[in-house]
Amino acid sequence: MKFLKLLVASLLLMSCSVIAQNKKNVLVFVVDDLGYYDISKHDADFYETPNIDQLAEDGLDFNNAYVAHPRCLPSRYALQTGRYPARAGIPSRNENTIKDKKFYDNEVTIGQAFKNNGYHTFFAGKWHLGHKEDEWPQNKGYDINIAGCAAGAPNSYFFPYNVPKNPKKVNKKGHGKIVGLDDGVEGEYLTDRLTDETINFINEDHKDPFFIMLCHYGVHTPFQAKKEHIKKYKAKLEGVTFEGPEYTLQDGYTKMHQNNVVYGAMVESVDESLGRVVKALKDKGLYDNTIIVFTSDHGGLSNRGVNNKRELATSNLPLRAGKGHTYEGGTKVPLIFAGAKITKKHTTDQVTTNTDLYPTLLDLCDLDLIPSEHKDGKSIKTEIQKGKTTDRTLFWHSSRARPKSTGDTNCTVVRDGNLKMSYFYDDDHYELYDLSKDPFEKTNLIDVNKKDAARLKQLITTWKEEVKATI
C-alpha cells in the first residue's frame, strides 16, 4: 500500500511537471528610448544590432507598432495595465486620480495576471511607476524584483550605480536612486548586471512556467558606455561626412544624423544583452516554448527646445520628431514577437500599441482575458498567428508638454485607419495626415479632407469624455 501511494504521488508530480512544461513561458524585453530606426535591420545608418536583427528574422517584425505615450512613465503604465495613461490621469491628474499614486489600488497588472495563472513572475530594470514601495514590482504582481523602483534613470551606468560622475546632476528627490543593487563589482556595467540577473533566473529549475520582464535603463541618459564600444563607434565616424546641418528648426530642434558614439555604444550593449538572454533560453532548451517580445517604451531622443543645448541621442529620420512628441518619431517603436513557433510570417503591417501586449500575451498562452483590466488593449493573437491585419483605432493624449526640454506641445491625437489627426491645445490648431501616402507627416490635409476631419474631431471628443482626459 505504501509503495502504491508513493507511485501515485510520483505520477502526480510527473503530471504536474508535464503540464508546467506545456505552458508557454514569456519574456518581455524593453529598451528605454530606442527609436524605430535605431536598429540595423530598420536601416540604421550607424548602429549595429545583429542580435535584434536575428530575432526579427526568426520572428515577426511589426511595421506599425506604437506606444500609448511618447514618454517613459505613461508608456510603462500602459504596458503594465493595458490602459491608456489618460484614463488614470497620467501624466496630468483628473478627478479619478489618487494623489501621489500611479496605480489604482485594485488594478491587476500584466505581472499579476500571469502570477494569478500560476506563473513565476520576475522583473528586472526600470519600473519608474510610483514613488513608494507599495507601487513597485514586488507589490504589483512580481515574485522577484531586481532594481525596479521610482528611478527613471541611473545616476551612473557603472557600479556604484547611485554615485553620479557629476555630483551637480544628482537627483535631489531620490528618483534617480536605484534600489536593490547596492552590491556589485567596481566598474560593472548596469546593462550587463541586469542581463546576468535575468539569466540566473532563467537557469533556475522552474516547476512553474515563468513570466519575465527585463526593462533596461539603457539607452536612456546619462550617455555612458563601455570604453571598447565607444572606441569602435569613434572609429566608425572617422572620415565620414554628413550632408546638411546637424540640427533643423522643426518641432523645437531636430537632430538630423545618427552620430552619437556613446549612444551607439549603449545600443550595442542592449543588443548584446538580448543575444545573451536568447542564448540562455536555447541552452536551457526553453526557446521553443518561450514567447519573446522585444520593444521600446517610445521613440528616440532626437529633439530639444529652441533655447536648450542638451546633447541628443539619435535621429529618428525619416520619421518626424522623437521622444516627447506624438508625431511618428515619438510613438512608433520596434516590436518583434519571436520564439514558441507562434508565427510563420516575418513582417506585418498590423497596427498595434503597447496596451495590446497584456491581452495578446494572455491569449497566446491560452489564458483567459480580463477585459475589465486591459480596457484599452486588444488581443492580436489571430493577426500574429495567421498573418492577417485588422483595423485598429489608437489615441494619444499628451497633457504635460515639455517645450523647453524636448520641444513638444500639448495635444490629443487619433489614428483611424491610415488617417491621423492631432489637436494642439496651446495654439488651437489641427493637423491631419494620411500615413499611407505621407508617413513622415509633411502635408497637412486639414483644409482639404473636411469630411474625415469632422469625423476624427468627433472621435477625439468622444474618447476624451470616455477616459476623462484633462489638461
Whether 18 has a pLDDT exceeding 60, the answer reads: no
Compute CA distances 228 → 232, 320, 361, whole Å. 6, 32, 37
Cα dihedral 46/50/52/57 (nearest 10): 120
Cα separation, 323 vs 449, in Å, equals: 29
- Could you report the per-residue pLDDT of 191-206, keeping only the tens digit for each? 999 999 999 999 999 9
**pTM listed for this prediction:** 0.93
Residue 301, C-alpha cell as written in the block: 531622443
Compute the average pLDDT of residues 9-25: 55
DSSP secondary structure string for all residues of 208-228: S-EEEEEE--TTSSS----HH
> Which value, in Å, is the radius of gyration of the alpha carbons in the chain?
22
- Could you report the per-residue pLDDT of 155-190, keeping only the tens digit for each? 999 999 999 877 666 555 555 799 999 999 999 999
DSSP alpha helix (H) spans, 117-250: 190-202, 227-237
Cα separation, 270 vs 276, in Å, equals: 10
Only one residue has cell 470616455, namely 466
- Position 58 scores a pLDDT of 95
Sign of CA dihedral 220, 224, 225, 231: positive
Compute the average pLDDT of residues 276-283: 98
Whether 341 has a pLDDT exceeding 70, the answer reads: yes
Average pLDDT, the chain: 92
Residue 19, C-alpha cell as written in the block: 503540464
Whether 79 has a pLDDT exceeding 80, the answer reads: yes
